[in-house]
Amino acid sequence: MRRIATTLILIFIASVIVSAQQLQVSGIITNSHNNKPVPYATIGIQKLNLWAISDFRGKFSFSKIPMGIIEFEVRCLGFRTQTQKLNTEANKFIVVALQPENLKLETVTVTATEKQEKGTKSLINQQAMQHIQPASFADLLQLLPGNTSVSTKMSQVSSIQLRQAATDNNTALGTAFIIDGIPVSNNANLQYIPNSGNNDKIRGRVNVTNGMDLRSISTDDIESVEIIRGVPSVAYGDLTSGAVIIKRKQGISKHKFRIKSNLKQKLLAWSKGFTISPNSGVFNFDLSYLNHTSDPSNPLEKYQRINSSLRYSNNISLFNKPLEIKTSASTIFTIDKEKVDPELNYNQPDYYKSDYTRNSLGGSALLKINKNWLQQIELKLRGSIVNTKLVRERIVRPVGPTPVPQVGVIGVHDSEYLPDVYLAQSVVDGAPANLYSALIFSGQFPFIPWINTFKMGTEWSWDKNLGKGEQTDPSRPIFPGSWNVNPRNFSTIPSIQRLSNYFEEQITIPIKKHQLKLQAGVRTITPLNISSKYYLSGKTFIDPRINLTWKMPTLTIANKPVSVNWHIGTGWHTKLPVIAQLYPNEIYRSIIQLNYYSQNPDLRRLNLYSYKKDPTNYDLKPARNRKFELGLRIKYNKASLSITAFDEYMSSGFTSRRTYHSVKYTDYIAGSVPSTGLTAPPALSLFDYKVKQRLFNYSSTANAAYMRKQGIEYTLKLPKWKALHTTVTINGAYFKTRYDNSLPVTYKPSQVINNEPYPYVGIYSSSRSSKIYRHFNTRFLLETHIPRLRMVATTSLQSVWFKNHNNLKTDKFPISYIDAAGVEHPFTSNDANDLLLSYLVLKFPKQYLEPDKTPISMSLNFKLTKELGNQLSLAFYVHNLLDYNPSYKNKYGGTVYRTASPSFGMEINIKI
């Protein structure tokens, strides 16, 4: 005990000594072009986690800076981000001259920059965005290793996919989007029409459990994007797969106009950053409009988007301490619609339309205390409300006489047949609202002998849908046969609330000439406001995460420096279920007992037996993903190679799972009562009947999705080939993704034998949908930049060497089966010989296990950006300029023909 006390005292004394060595450093930011001061530039010292903003005279200062070499990173809207070192032993003042961002500069960055430190990520700056010419955030994803350039189809929801060879909802749901430090939530979305049929216009437009719709994120207000695929800092939570950190423009700029046009899209954007007076702070304003037509010849299918935001930031002082405030008000408005041409539809309505308006208001205040233990306190607040309305309307002509249930009635009751023609309408009124608040403390532990910073935060979020829900007449369904329509008022559903706490420490440890950078933290997440019936109630989930970078000493080979960095990261990531998964709607089911559709309309009678089921899964747990990654980065002279191997494992992903139950009802035989002589619908007692028992099912959300993502991402950047002004970058990835079920699965053959539907359900230990997908690609990117011509062109040869997937062998026999009475029986070897039970035996033919291979696919894409003076810049692209997509034989012997058609577009950027 005494020894510990002595140690503590020693540490305290040491910390006093260390702190005594700390200095005050100041500086000025200037514009290299005209030597004028640059206000509102952000100056950061990464390893100390310190940030400052230059004032209107371009000045800034930091206190508590240790002795030694300090690296400043300076970013400012319209300027190239610059890093500069200062040896504080010799100097306490620094001048950073920023270069205005244009193509006259020797170095420009028009692709993503890969970083491994603090979790593998891709950084995308404004110049790159201008060069890609995106219509929405989805277009930026083509820059990630392993992703291929695809033309985004804006008539359907676009979801993010990371490090995978196939697509799934869990990745999209588990990727957090953080805009200006505050996460955007889609946790309360309920916009869909239940049982709307697979081929309806609503298909591909439902975004309830798959995260952010990338279409709605405009890129015109974005200054930079960080897409973290590795292990993100514990400051980011409620995620399983990745984090997208978006920083919006902040700073003074001219009027910027962007006009983009291609066959399908027209985009107009305007942005401006300005001040009213020197000390007023800076205002940033932007407005953009996008119009997307899926098929240029069909004006009836459209996606339109208007984004607008006004942001304000300023440095003021509070209790003599600098206080940075940022506020923003944003609006997104989108319309997604598809209509059947009335001229082809006998002038009758048949359309889908979804309006979406999201208004948000938020801000943050960062107070710099500048004490060792507590350097800054940040408070973040934001509220957003979405008003969204989905309308599906059409004239329905049933294909023949069709029964319709009465929704909301339980027990035995009569119902009716649908009219010959009717107008069906369903309006889904949703209003997902979100509140977010966070309080973050950061500082350093002076007793740790190395440079270190810590961050400690607490976050609270609230999501609730305030909408009126689905408004429809269940007796006039959009699709005859959709019997589970059960309108509910969304505002009756409880809110979901999350409370998170985190603590993270970053330490830089020099060991001789080596350097270890450690980022380690723990995050907890606790669901609040949840009934004790749920497993989640009262539980706290803990995510420990760690990133370690080992910087080896720089060597010299053939007079050129070689630097080697190793990176290792691992951690747990938790995503809590969203409202649609926690609070599914009650299911009403009706079974026809008498279907007496007499030729005489007066005698018709439809009798039903109806009951109710609650599909809520009270045992629902969060989806948890474990990540591991190992990276290596070698820099030799001006060439660099980085390789990252990763392994992600999740067995509790959300998926929909069927549950079977047995129902007993009376089947009255219509033919047993002749209609002759009747004057009114016959009484049930007149009929011959059979008591029947059958299995029915409903779906509920379960933690049954198994996902394993493995792979290698690589980027090789060669030094500039001066004679050709060209830099060659080779990047790509090999992905292996396995999807499986982590809970037993069911299978019910759908057949009729001897007038009866197939009666049994087989239960299997492992999934039949178990599949492994593989994908290997390389992109050869030639970046030709001629500063004299103010021009940059990229030629990318995108090659997907192969893509394949195969089934995994699973059990042939079910473990058990459920009979029509709902009783579960073990499946014995004798059952395999039974005429009916043998239906449940699976067989794996040779083809089943063989991989389904897609051979090489190549395409050549070209993009060009040219500046005409300081005001005007033109950009142009051609996708699939050339392509090589040989036809091939699939494993079933069929020939698959592939085509890729070229597409092109251009845009103009004006700065006044």
Partner 1 sequence: MNKLKLIFTLAIASTFALFSCSDSDDPIPTSNVTLTIQLPEGVTVSDYSSFKADLLNQSTQQTVAGTISDQGKVTATVEQGVYDITITGKGTKTTTIGEGDEATNLEQTVDLRSFSENTSISGDAFSLSPSLFINIESSGWVIKEIYFAGSKTPEGKSYYKDKYIEIYNNTDKAMYADGLCFTESNHTNSSSLNKWENILNEAYVAGFIFQIPGTGKEHPVQPGKSIVIADVGINHKAINNNSIDLSTADFEWYEEHKLDSDTPEVPNIDIPFKASATITVLNIFGYKAYTIFKPSGTIKQFLAANKVVYTHPNSGKQYTYYKVPNNLILDAVEIGAEGAFNTKAVSPQLDLSYINVGTDKTKKYSKVIRRKIDKNVNGRVIYKDTNDSAKDFEANVDPKPHVFN
Question: By the criterion CB under 8 A, which residues form the site for partner 1?
Answer: 345-346, 348, 395, 397, 399-403, 405, 417, 420-421, 480-481, 483, 590, 592, 595-599, 667, 670-671, 673-675, 747, 749-755, 757-758, 768-769, 807, 810, 835, 838-839, 841-845, 847-848, 891-894
Residue 520 is encoded by which pair of tokens?
């380690």
Query: Residue 115 or residue 748: which is nearer to partner 1 going by CB?
Result: 748
Q: C-beta of 394: minimal distance to partner 1 in Å?
A: 10
The residue (of 408 and 902) whose beta carbon lies closer to partner 1 is: 408
- Do the Cβ atoms of 783 and 794 come closer than 8 Å? yes
Smallest gap, in angstroms, from Cβ of residue 590 to partner 1?
Answer: 8
Nearer to partner 1, 32 or 656 (CB): 656
Euclidean distance between CA atoms 82 and 31, whole angstroms:
12
Residue 799 CB partners (closer than 8 Å, separation 6+): 777, 778, 779, 780, 856, 857, 858
State in Å, rounded, how far the first CA of the chain is from the last one. 70
SS3 content of the chain, % helix, strand, coil (to 5): 10, 55, 35
By beta-carbon proximity to partner 1, the closer residue of 385 and 841 is: 841
The minimum distance between CB 822 and partner 1, in angstroms, equals: 19
* Backbone dihedral angles phi then psi of residue 512, each to the nearest 5 degrees: 50, -120
Shortest Å, Cβ 742 to partner 1: 19
- Give 204 or 401: the residue with its C-beta nearer to partner 1: 401
CB of 194 to partner 1, least distance (A): 15
Nearer to partner 1, 348 or 524 (CB): 348
Give the Cα separation of 592 and 607 in Å (integer). 6
The nearer residue to partner 1, 195 or 370, going by C-beta atoms, is: 195
CB of 889 to partner 1, least distance (A): 13
| Gap between the Cα atoms of 254 and 260, Å rounded | 19
**For residues 731 and 716, what is the distance between their CA atoms, to the nearest angstrom?**
6
Question: Taking the complex as a whole, how short is the minimal distance between the CB of residue 408 and partner 1, in angstroms?
Answer: 17
Q: Cβ of residue 644: shortest distance to partner 1, in angstroms?
A: 33
Q: Is 865 exposed, middle or buried (0-12, 13-18, 19+ CB in 10 A)?
A: buried
Smallest distance from the beta carbon of 343 to partner 1, in angstroms? 11
- What is the 3 state secondary structure string of 735-786? EEEEEEECCCEEECCCCEECCEECCCEEEECCCCCCEEEEEEEEEEEEEEEE
Taking the complex as a whole, how short is the minimal distance between the CB of residue 397 and partner 1, in angstroms?
A: 4
Task: Supply the minimum distance, in Å, between the C-beta of residue 483 and partner 1.
Answer: 6
> Residue 827: beta bridge partners?
none
H helix intervals, 333-485? none
Please say which residue, 319 or 346, places its beta carbon nearer to partner 1: 346
Indicate the residue among 523 and 803 with the shorter CB distance to partner 1: 803
CA distances from 863 to 278, 523, 718 (A): 40, 43, 20
Closer residue to partner 1 (CB): 365 or 670: 670
Query: Exposed, middle or buried: residue 346 (CB in 10 Å: 0-12, 13-18, 19+)?
Result: exposed
- Radius of gyration of the chain, Cα coordinates, nearest whole angstrom: 31
Residue whose CB is less far from partner 1, 333 or 597: 597
Question: How do strand 771-786 and strand 726-741 relate by DSSP bridges?
Answer: antiparallel
CA 681 from chain centre, in angstroms, equals 56
Q: Minimum distance from CB of 444 to partner 1 (Å)?
A: 58
Going by C-alpha positions, the residue among 617, 621, 618, 694 that lies closest to residue 658 is 617
| Closer by beta carbon to partner 1, 270 or else 758 | 758
| Residue number with CB closer to partner 1 (515 or 675) | 675
Cβ neighbours for 721, distance < 8 A, ≥ 6 positions apart? 727, 728
Residue 220 CB contacts under 8 Å (≥ 6 apart), including other chains: 258, 269, 271, 286, 288, 307
CB closer to partner 1, 171 vs 810: 810
Nearest distance from C-beta of residue 582 to partner 1, angstroms: 29
In the complex, least distance from residue 843 CB atom to partner 1, rounded to whole angstroms: 4
Query: Closer to partner 1 at the Cβ: 598 or 903?
Result: 598
Helix (H) or strand (E) holding 132: helix 126-132
Token pair recorded at residue 493: 């559903």
Residues 6+ apart with CB under 8 A from 302: 155, 291, 292, 293, 294, 335, 336, 337, 338
Smallest gap from Cβ 808 to partner 1, in A, equals 10
For partner 1, give the closer residue by CB, 356 or 479. 479
Q: Quick one: how far is CA 157 from the chain centroid? A: 11
Contacts of 490 (CB under 8 A, 6+ apart): 190, 429, 430, 431, 465, 466, 467, 468, 469
- Reduced to 3 states, what is the DSSP secondary structure of residue 89? coil
Work out the number of other CB atoms within 10 angstroms of the CB of residue 481: 13
CB of 896 to partner 1, least distance (A): 13
Residues 6 or more apart whose Cβ sits within 8 Å of residue 469 = 190, 428, 429, 430, 487, 488, 489, 490, 491
